[in-house]
Amino acid sequence: MTSEEHREQPPPSRRIADRLRSAIHDGDLLPGDRLPSERDLAQEYGTARNTAREALRILAEEGLVDRRHGSGVFVRERRRTLRFGAERYSRRLREETGLSPYRAELAKQGLVPRVDCVSIERVVPPADVAERLGLTDGASDVVRRENWYYASDGTNEHPVQVGVTFVPWAIAGGTPLATSANLGKGSLYARFEDRGHRITRSREEVSARMPTPQEARGLMVPSGVPVLEVLHTGIDQGGRPFEVTRFVMRADLAALDYDMAVEETDD
């Protein structure tokens, strides 16, 4: 082997990771299967245990395996993906079910939702939220509502997303929007309608990133899995923005499903 060929060879840890990754993708290792231990991998490939440990770390960072303390390393289970479509904000769905958009969306998918409202406070909005709400004077307060969302299949419950909603004080002040975790039938958007703001359009800006340490802990995000960040702006019948919600979703559990008309114009 020439020195040039030697330089092109990946390190042993990468070669082990490549073999295990192929076994996972080819179905030789199935979701829930236990991978060989570090000791067994080291013996099989003739390497040190720390080399085998590095190979397993690579797979964990790629989101392919889970390390369970005291049990070993397992191929990650493929959990059911929750799909969130634009219909979740529809007035018809809200009137038919009496549920919030999240609860209605999960009910359609045969899952049991749980939502915890962990805080409601009056604050000065972040700059990007103020811009989207048209609060440009720098002095307008908003109500900040923080909700954590969970889904259960009847056996296991998983955290899915966190949503922080910002509502101008001019809309929320003196209403349950500013004080109550339980917003009653129809939940958030029914209370907006009570204030004269019926959601007719939404703008959603979607990006992906790695979670913060707090998000990773709260959402139980596995190593190597990113989150989706959705900045949602609700727009009423008069074309006015009346609420902004920043959603952070586990990318391995949530998907966004949009069916959008494309306007055709004559040249």
- Say if strands 82-85 and 254-257 run parallel, antiparallel, or are unpaired: parallel
Q: CATH 1.10.3720.10: does it fit domain 3-75?
A: no
Instruction: Tell me, yes or no, if the pTM score tops 0.85.
Output: no
CATH 1.10.10.10 spans which residues of the chain? 3-75
Q: Is residue 130 scored above 90 in pLDDT?
A: yes
Provide the pLDDT confidence category of residue 85 given band limits of 50, 70 and 90: low
CATH 3.40.1410.10 spans which residues of the chain? 82-257
The stretch 18-31 carries a mean pLDDT of: 90
Q: Is residue 147 scored above 80 in pLDDT?
A: yes
CB count within 10 Å of CB 15 equals 15
Pick the CATH number of 82-257 from 3.90.930.12, 3.40.1410.10, 3.40.50.620, 3.40.50.920: 3.40.1410.10
Tell me the CA distances in angstroms from 112 to 107, 154, 214, 235, one per residue in order.
Answer: 7, 7, 25, 29
Pick 2 or 42 by higher pLDDT: 42
Q: Is residue 5 scored above 70 in pLDDT?
A: no
- Burial letters for 18-51: b for 16+ Cβ neighbours within 10 Å, e otherwise? eebbeebeeeebeeeeebbebeebbeebebeeeb
Cβ within 8 Å of residue 126, ≥6 positions away: 166
CA angle 161/167/169 to nearest 5° reads: 150
